[in-house]
Amino acid sequence: MELAWHGGASVSLRLADRVLVIDPAFSRSDDYGPWFQASPNAPAFDAYLEEFRPDVVLITHGHFDHFDLETVRKLADGPAPRFIGSPEVIATIRRHFPAAGPSATAILPGEWMQVYPGLSIEAHEGVHWLTGEAGRQAAARFEGRPDRWGVMPCGGPMLSFVVRGDGRDVYFSGDTEFAGVPELTVAAAVVNVGGPVLDPVGKQPVSCILDEHDLIRAVRERLGTRLLIPVHHDHPVFLEPVDLTAVERGLSDRCRLVKLPFNRWVRLDDMLEDGDPCARCC
């Protein structure tokens, strides 16, 4: 099993000859209106396809930095991967990109799904602002506005995923607060961590995902794992940087923090061993 971080919340997992990607978001500034904040470490799309073309796409929730409609459009142009997400995400994909519809599959919190023989996923519901009914209402306000295309594709739940394959479980948190972190024992936890963001209504900084303190608490109290991989903290949507050194200091000796390089495969077994796993990147 191998992992690759594409900046932001976008992470690929490769098992044998199958590639799964979570929240691919590779659009550039000119793909949307002035509101858009591009992920600075995202790969160029053609380069991404050459090295990381996905068989399966998991979408955690309906916010632009996770459900990137223009990236989904390019992926759906074919050969289309299998898209998996909440019913709201899948309905949005089918409405805007009919070619992807036949392979798109909805999953609910608490459900397990076999994606391929030897590769399965389980969905958990996280806790995140502007999801659920609040997310549906926000998405409805932007519907039909070309100047806000892609801001908020849909509402629905925020889904975390556990991917199981090769005898290993890997947790992908998506955007969740501490209350939405499940109690799990996994080989690795790929966790979204970030500082405050600007509330577009109140124009004040708000915290809506795990910060450094809550990430340490989540690993100590909820996640039994030997390996913590923080992601998403590089995205410009966050108003303050994340102090990963403080997170590292707060972990127990049983859990290592690994900072993945951008857009390079790294073997999970190498990360679980001592030493510098990135020195052995593919």
pTM of the model: 0.96
What confidence tens digit (pLDDT) does each residue in 145-186 have? 999 999 999 999 999 999 999 999 999 999 999 999 999 999
Q: What are phi and psi of 84, to 5 degrees?
A: -130, 130
What confidence tens digit (pLDDT) does each residue in 186-195 have? 999 999 999 9
Query: What pLDDT, on the 0 to 100 scale, is given for residue 252?
Result: 86
Would you place residue 278 in the very low, low, confident or very high pLDDT band (cuts 50, 70, 90)? low
Q: Which fold is adopted by the domain 2-261?
A: Metallo-beta-lactamase; Chain A (3.60.15)
Q: Do 1 and 267 contact (CB within 8 A), yes or no?
A: yes
What confidence tens digit (pLDDT) does each residue in 225-257 have? 999 999 999 999 999 999 999 999 999 888 999
Q: What are phi and psi of 7, to 5 degrees?
A: 85, 160
Q: Which of 44-53, 144-153, 201-210 has the lowest mean pLDDT?
A: 201-210
What confidence tens digit (pLDDT) does each residue in 5-19 have? 999 999 999 999 999
CA 55 – CA 9 distance, rounded (Å): 18
Extents of the domains making up the chain: 2-261
The dihedral of CA 25, 255, 179, 20: what is its sign? positive
Structure tokens at 36: 């858009």
Query: What pLDDT, on the 0 to 100 scale, is given for residue 201?
Result: 73
Would you place residue 103 in the very low, low, confident or very high pLDDT band (cuts 50, 70, 90)? confident
